[in-house]
């Protein structure tokens, strides 16, 4: 397959970016890995792009005894360079998350720094902590008077960012939501899914709704099937304690995969406004045909070879029970019962320790109804395929048939593709930078509303209940595998094949 590198003339460019207002960011779990690896670099990126207000500051919160100076050293290490004007905006407050005295000290620190930075109650609380602490912190913030009910206009700009997972089933999600919404209004809650901050995922809406060529053929009349793949070559990376209680269904499928599916399949929103877009996503999720436990292939990796190195099995990972039945791989076929997508299968799969890192959405169009080139041996022509590449390099490709120079009939598949970083000659922004800036400006478009999560859990609860009773088969696959027989059978029984994971 020949690849074509496009040359793009950048015409009629419309860019809209809203810088953040003066804001305080309070990060619970600030001494943890996520803060150092993702949040601090994301904030520094915004700072370098001059999208943060000069009147911006961070209070890191944690149980570790850290002074402001020590926390600023952590900041410098996280960004890999000296940046005094940036790092001096970071402060630290030590305490236990269930101790009322800690929140009194935090309140005093906020009042002091708000005066210093001239910030008028514009505060974001970020929960970068284990999920069990979400309700604890929310209730303590409420008791300390730091949250803002909707009718309290003095604190209307207080917001709460919550990392996934939001619950582990429908009941726990509902209980968590009940506690949090006693302290925060839904309009103040930002449930983060970092996949929605990736450029290619955001571009799904632009691609579909800003180009007249796509929408007329974005339906069951022209599309044969859709494949959504999140393949990871890494294992659980020292998260055994968390992952063994979660598994691929909760960790990836319930949030990332269903949200990407919703963006691909939802109806056009009436406007580019947060609730209009989120309304359509919920409508789509409610149109999914109810899942049956037998619809899913679940599996767990054994030892194998990746990039020439031997790697251990899941059961040998630190923090994993030696008899664990937790899945590290999920594959299923999803059907959407609505006018646009009836009978179009969406094949989704995600797994750890696969042969390559590759996340993409591949839309395969129906084949031409009749080949006029049968006399040349071309009885059946390949499908056109549009691929939205999300990792490792974000970009878009389109495969189509064309004549090659030379013989009277020499036809081949051409792949017209581009990578964002190469085409626009820029470093791709971090997903967390996009999401943090949106939270600072009050834009909830890329954040999950509770009814979306509730709908997802309702779909998955029967599956989880069945698995809990050990009614399903847990298959095995070797680390480094491209796929395995049971997963292949899922799609091959419909006369189709998985796309190669290493094909990106």
Q: Mind listing the pLDDT tens digit for each residue in 126-185?
A: 999 999 999 999 999 999 999 864 455 555 689 999 998 899 999 999 999 999 999 999
- Rounded to an integer, what distance in angstroms lies between the CA atom of residue 232 and that of residue 306? 11
Those residues of the chain that have pLDDT short of 70 are: 1-15, 148-156, 371, 374-377, 406-409, 425, 503-504
What's the confidence (pLDDT) of residue 382? 84
Domain boundary among 194, 215, 239: 194
Count Cβ atoms below 10 Å from residue 375 Cβ, excluding itself: 9
Residue range(s) defining the domain that contains residue 56: 23-194
Residues 6 or more apart whose Cβ sits within 8 Å of residue 15: none
Same domain, 346 and 212: yes
Same domain, 332 and 215: yes
Q: What is the CATH number of the domain that holds 278?
A: 3.30.360.10
What's the confidence (pLDDT) of residue 477? 98
Domain boundary among 165, 194, 223: 194
- The total of structural domains in the chain comes to 2
Question: What residues are labeled active site?
Answer: 256
Dihedral sign from CA coordinates of 313, 316, 317, 321: positive
66-104 burial, b for 16+ CB within 10 Å, e for fewer?
A: beeeebbebbbebbeeebeebbebbbbbbbebeeeebbe
Q: Is residue 422 part of a domain?
A: no
Q: Is residue 231 part of a domain?
A: yes
Same domain, 40 and 188: yes
Helix locations, 228-292, DSSP H? 240-243, 247-248, 258-265, 274-286
Domain boundary among 194, 214, 233: 194
Same domain, 106 and 225: no
Same domain, 82 and 204: no
In the Cβ-directed half-sphere of 357, how many Cα atoms lie within 13 Å? Answer: 9
Same domain, 123 and 209: no
Strand partners, 97: none
Same domain, 188 and 240: no
- Rounded to an integer, what distance in angstroms lies between the CA atom of residue 253 and that of residue 325? 17
Q: What is the CATH number of the domain that holds 60?
A: 3.40.50.720
Same domain, 341 and 228: yes
Q: What is the DSSP code string of 27-77?
A: EETTTSHHIIIIIHHHHHHHHHTT-S-SSEEEEEEESS---HHHHHHHHHH
What's the confidence (pLDDT) of residue 10? 53
Q: Is residue 423 part of a domain?
A: no
In the Cβ-directed half-sphere of 176, how many Cα atoms lie within 13 Å? Answer: 23
Same domain, 190 and 202: no
Pick from 32, 24, 181, 233: which is nearest to 109 by CA?
24
Using an 8 Å Cβ cutoff, are 373 and 381 in contact?
A: yes
Instruction: Please measure the distance between the N-terminal and C-terminal CA atoms of the chain and give it in whole angstroms.
Output: 13
pLDDT tens per residue across span 22-51: 999 999 999 999 999 999 999 999 999 999
Q: Is residue 249 part of a domain?
A: yes
pLDDT tens per residue across span 337-353: 999 999 999 999 999 99
Q: Is residue 52 part of a domain?
A: yes
Using an 8 Å Cβ cutoff, are 101 and 12 in contact?
A: no
Same domain, 183 and 212: no
Q: Is residue 503 part of a domain?
A: no
Same domain, 303 and 335: yes
Same domain, 190 and 218: no
Q: Is residue 272 part of a domain?
A: yes
What's the confidence (pLDDT) of residue 262? 97
Using an 8 Å Cβ cutoff, are 214 and 207 in contact?
A: yes
User: With the CA atoms of 442, 446, 449 and 455 taken in that order, what torsion angle do they form, in degrees rounded to the nearest 10?
Assistant: 170
Helix axes 68-79, 40-48, angle to 10 degrees: 70
Q: Is residue 173 part of a domain?
A: yes
pTM for this entry:
0.92
């Amino acid at each position: 397959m020949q690849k074509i590198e496009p040359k793009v003339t950048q015409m009629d460019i419309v860019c809209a970016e809203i810088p953040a207002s003066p804001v305080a960011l309070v990060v619970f779990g600030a001494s943890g890995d996520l803060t150092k690896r993702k949040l601090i670099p994301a904030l520094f990126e915004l700072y370098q792009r001059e999208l943060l207000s000069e009147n911006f500051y961070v209070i890191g919160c944690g149980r570790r005894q850290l002074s402001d100076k020590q926390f600023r050293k952590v900041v410098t290490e996280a960004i890999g360079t000296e940046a005094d004007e940036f790092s001096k905006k970071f402060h630290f407050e030590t305490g236990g998350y269930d101790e009322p005295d800690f929140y009194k000290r935090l309140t005093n620190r906020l009042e002091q720094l708000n005066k210093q930075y001239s910030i008028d109650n514009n505060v974001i609380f970020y929960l970068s902590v284990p999920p069990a602490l979400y309700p604890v912190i929310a209730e303590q913030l409420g008791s300390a008077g730091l949250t803002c009910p909707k009718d309290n206009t003095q604190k209307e700009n207080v917001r709460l960012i919550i990392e996934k997972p939001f619950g582990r089933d429908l009941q726990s999600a509902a209980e968590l939501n009940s506690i949090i919404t006693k302290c925060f209004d839904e309009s103040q809650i930002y449930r983060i899914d970092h996949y929605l901050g990736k450029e290619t995922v955001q571009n799904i809406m632009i691609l579909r709704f800003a180009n007249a060529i796509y929408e007329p053929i974005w339906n069951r009349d022209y599309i044969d099937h859709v494949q959504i793949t999140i393949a990871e070559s890494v294992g659980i990376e020292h998260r055994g304690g968390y992952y063994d209680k979660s598994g691929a269904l909760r960790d990836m499928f319930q949030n990332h995969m269903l949200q990407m599916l919703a963006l691909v399949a939802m109806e056009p929103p009436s406007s580019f406004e947060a609730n209009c877009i989120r309304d359509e996503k919920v409508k789509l999720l409610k149109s999914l045909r109810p899942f049956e436990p037998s619809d899913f292939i679940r599996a767990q990796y054994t030892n194998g070879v990746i990039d020439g190195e031997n790697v251990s099995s899941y059961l040998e990972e630190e923090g994993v029970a030696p008899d664990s039945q937790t899945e590290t791989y999920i594959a299923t076929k999803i059907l959407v019962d609505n006018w646009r997508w009836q009978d179009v299968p969406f094949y989704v799969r995600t797994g750890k320790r696969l042969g390559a890192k590759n996340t993409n959405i591949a839309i395969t169009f129906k084949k031409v109804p009749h080949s006029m080139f049968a006399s040349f041996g071309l009885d059946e022509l390949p499908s056109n395929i549009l691929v939205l590449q999300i990792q490792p390099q974000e970009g878009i490709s389109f495969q189509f048939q064309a004549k090659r120079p030379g013989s009277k009939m020499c036809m081949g598949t051409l792949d017209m593709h581009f990578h964002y970083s190469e085409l626009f000659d820029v470093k791709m922004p971090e997903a967390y930078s996009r999401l943090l800036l949106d939270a600072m400006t009050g834009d909830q478009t890329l954040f999950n509303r509770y009814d979306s999560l509730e709908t997802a859990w309702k779909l998955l609860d029967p599956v989880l209940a069945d698995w809990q009773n050990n009614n399903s088969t847990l298959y095995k696959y070797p680390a480094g595998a491209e796929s395995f027989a049971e997963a292949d059978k899922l799609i091959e029984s419909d006369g189709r094949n998985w796309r190669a994971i290493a094909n990106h």
